[in-house]
């Protein structure tokens, strides 16, 4: 994997997460983190998010649910915004979070609803 995946990944990452987030992430990059950022851009965005099997709306819903399950609130905040950018409606996000209450537990969904309310405010 190389330059093609990197460029495709940069474009998809910007489209999904927005220029502000990507610009901040790139500005914070250091010699210590640059290899990780490259890996993330090439594999997550240039390979997986670029696959044709699922649209970005579906990928966003799945990502939100997984982040709730894992308790990663900071990433959840980012991907809730991304889901909205990808055309997921607020009511659809609410349904995803309700579904996580059953399969991930009430405490996880409670935190997710709090984070989502902050994002939507």
Q: pLDDT band at residue 69, thresholds of 50, 70 and 90?
A: very high
Handedness of CA 14, 16, 20, 24 (dihedral sign): negative
Mean pLDDT for the stretch of residues 1-5: 73
- Average pLDDT, integer, range 109-114: 98
The class that CATH gives domain 56-120 is: mainly alpha
- Do the beta carbons of residue 41 and residue 4 sit within 8 Å? no
Give the pLDDT confidence of 20-55 residue by residue, as tens digits. 988 998 899 999 999 999 999 989 999 999 999 999
Residue 7 has what pLDDT?
A: 87
Distance, CA of 50 to CA of 115 (rounded, Å): 27
- CB contact at 8 A, 56 and 93: no
The domain segmentation of the chain, as residue ranges, is 3-48, 56-120
Please tell me the distance from the alpha carbon of residue 109 to that of residue 102, in angstroms, as a whole number.
9
Sign of torsion, CA 14 16 19 22? negative
pTM of this structure: 0.90
Mean of pLDDT over the chain? 94
pLDDT of res. 1 = 54
E strand segments, the chain: none
């Amino acid at each position: 994997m190389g330059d093609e995946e990197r460029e495709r990944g940069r474009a998809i990452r910007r489209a999904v997460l927005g220029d502000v987030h990507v610009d901040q992430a790139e500005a914070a990059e250091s010699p210590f983190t640059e290899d990780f950022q490259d890996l993330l851009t090439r594999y997550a965005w240039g390979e997986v998010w670029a696959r044709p099997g699922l649209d970005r709306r579906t990928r966003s819903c799945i990502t939100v649910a997984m982040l709730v399950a894992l308790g990663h609130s900071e990433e959840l905040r980012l991907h809730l915004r991304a889901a909205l950018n990808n055309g997921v409606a607020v009511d659809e996000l609410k349904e995803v979070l309700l579904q996580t209450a059953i399969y991930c537990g009430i405490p996880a969904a409670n935190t997710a609803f709090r984070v989502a309310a902050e994002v939507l405010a």
